[in-house]
């Protein structure tokens, strides 16, 4: 029982860990996007953003889709992931324009709007991953409950068998 139990919980736990890492990665990308806007001439935050985004994508690739419901949520997650890159590209383009523009106020507002959209996309990702984690945990609980029922029935049958067997043995001994 323990071996099967560990297999179920290990796989489910691993999936939840990956989903949690995806959420954290999306927030890392958001923080780095804000840092890029604050320090537009530094290359470090842009370099870190690309690394964080790449790791984020690799984590998404690790998720095993089992059901149609998961597939639709994963499709939304991939859409949000791609949207983050589009927003990042627009952010970099706007930052580059600000550096040569005369009317910087318009572009600074645009940068802030892009950062807010990146944050909103991150919240969307967090919402999707939390729903997937919740569904994953519920499925794990259902599997473990089914396993407990099977073991309970098995123990009842074994108890009944032992009772019947001992009854016949005691009957044979007394005769």
On whether residue 71 sits in a domain, the answer given is yes
pLDDT at 33: 92
- What are the DSSP calls for the chain, one per residue? -HHHHHHHHHHHHHHHHHHHHHHHHHHHHHHHHHHHHHSTT-SHHHHHHHHHHHHHHHHHHHPPP-SHHHHHHHHHHHHHHHHHHHHHHHHHHHHHHHHH-S-HHHHHHHHHHHHHHHHHHHHHHHHHHHHHHHHHHHHHHHHHHHHHHHHHHHHHHHHHHHHHHHHHHHHHHH-
On whether residue 167 sits in a domain, the answer given is no
On whether residue 153 sits in a domain, the answer given is no
Interatomic CA distance for residues 7 and 96, integer angstroms: 51
On whether residue 125 sits in a domain, the answer given is yes
Q: What is the pLDDT of residues 80-121, one digit of tens each?
A: 999 999 999 999 998 888 777 677 777 788 889 999 999 999
On whether residue 166 sits in a domain, the answer given is no
On whether residue 65 sits in a domain, the answer given is yes
Residue span of the structural domain in which 120 resides: 2-136
pLDDT at 107: 76
Is the confidence at residue 54, as pLDDT, over 60?
Answer: yes
Q: Which CATH number goes with the domain that contains 118?
A: 1.20.120.230
On whether residue 46 sits in a domain, the answer given is yes
Of 23, 7, 11, nearest to 131 by C-alpha is 23
On whether residue 164 sits in a domain, the answer given is no
Interatomic CA distance for residues 97 and 24, integer angstroms: 30
pLDDT-derived band at 133 (thresholds 50, 70, 90) equals: confident
Tally of structural domains, the chain? 1
């Amino acid at each position: 029982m323990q071996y099967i139990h560990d297999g179920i919980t290990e796989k489910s736990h691993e999936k939840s860990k990956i989903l949690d890492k995806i959420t954290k990665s999306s927030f890392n990308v958001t923080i780095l996007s804000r840092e890029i806007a604050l320090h537009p001439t530094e290359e470090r935050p842009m370099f870190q953003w690309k690394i964080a985004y790449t790791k984020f994508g690799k984590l998404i690739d690790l998720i095993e889709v089992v059901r149609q419901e998961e597939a639709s949520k994963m499709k939304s997650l991939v859409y949000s992931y791609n949207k983050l890159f589009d927003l990042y590209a627009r952010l970099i383009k706007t930052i580059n324009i600000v550096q040569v523009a005369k009317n910087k106020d318009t572009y600074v507002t645009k940068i802030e709007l892009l950062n807010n959209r990146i944050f909103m996309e991150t919240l969307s990702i967090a919402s999707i991953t939390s729903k997937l984690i919740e569904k994953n945990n519920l499925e794990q609980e259902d599997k473990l409950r089914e396993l407990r029922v099977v073991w309970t029935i098995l123990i009842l049958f074994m108890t009944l068998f032992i009772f019947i067997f001992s009854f016949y043995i005691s009957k044979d001994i007394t005769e």
